[in-house]
Amino acid sequence: MNFGIIASVNAPLDENRIRYTVSVLVKAHPFLSALLGYEGESDKYYYDITPNPQVELLFKDKPVDGIYDESVMKEYEKLISVDWDLFKEGMLKIAFWKEGERTCLLFVFHHLLADGRAALSLVEEFADYYVNGIEPEKAVETLISSENFPAGSEFPLLFNGKDVSGGEHRENNYGL
């Protein structure tokens, strides 16, 4: 399941600035470097944090007349109409259009990356840095312990196939 957020920011489209802004977000949010991992022996999945950003940037040639432009919705429908192979591609795709002196952007998230609230915060952080240079705060990412679930629940957390459900924090190792 994928969902999107469309926004318009008060700054001209600058591919280099966009790429740099995304790199700043990746440093603050390690999940933007994650692929889906699988451990066959236990038949369990995990977030595989890679050394490289896994955000796909799509720069569109045709300018748009705002967030309600037909091209934006067509791109959204195109991005959600196919299944993403999360073992090979990341969980976020961002399309950009020139919109006069502004930039129109479309963030499309896989639900394993973010819920609606977290997604909106990420878009706001992108806009804050891209337009005003306001650094995002580094996300405090910790493993969820089985103690966080109701009694009797089971939700093993894995990193590279090892069960890490004990609630330990390991830098850049996140279980699903």
- Residue extents of the structural domains in the chain: 2-140
The architecture that CATH gives domain 2-140 is 2-Layer Sandwich (3.30)
pLDDT of residue 149: 55
Report residue 40 CA to chain centroid gap. 26
Rounded to whole angstroms, how far apart are CA atoms 60 and 131? 20
Ranges of H-type helices in the chain: 15-28, 70-80, 116-132
Per residue in 7-61, pLDDT (tens digit) is 999 999 999 999 999 999 999 998 899 999 988 888 888 889 899 999 999 999 9
pTM: 0.79
- Interaxial angle between packed helices 15-28 and 116-132, expressed in degrees from 0 to 180 and rounded to the nearest 10: 130
User: 152 pLDDT band (50/70/90 cuts)?
Assistant: low
Q: Name which of 107, 129, 83 is nearest 32 in CA terms.
A: 107
pLDDT of residue 159: 43
